[in-house]
Amino acid sequence: MRATVPEEAIAALPHEVLIVHGRDDRVIPLSNSLRLLELIDRAQLHVFARCGHWVQIEQGPRFIELVERFLTEDAPDSARITTG
């Protein structure tokens, strides 16, 4: 993963982070999001099936539901991955 922000700064993020990725994204490899999940202690990753780079457009209603749930839920204790 080549980031414009040093990995140490990413790993130091103190808050909950939601990472979303389209499984079929041809612009940014899924490995980048998996690396973010490794670096950020309080991160969640959701990988959308049958979806490319524009998750918020290609999977609009499901994306909105996921973000709303993330913003209103209690903080999870550990990192997790969901797919759908």
Which residues carry out catalysis? 53
Measure Cα distances from 77 to 43, 44, 46, 48 in Å. Answer: 10, 11, 16, 23
Q: Would you call 47 helix, strand, or coil by DSSP?
A: strand
Phi and psi at 13, nearest 5°, equal -60, 125
CA distance 7 to 36: 9
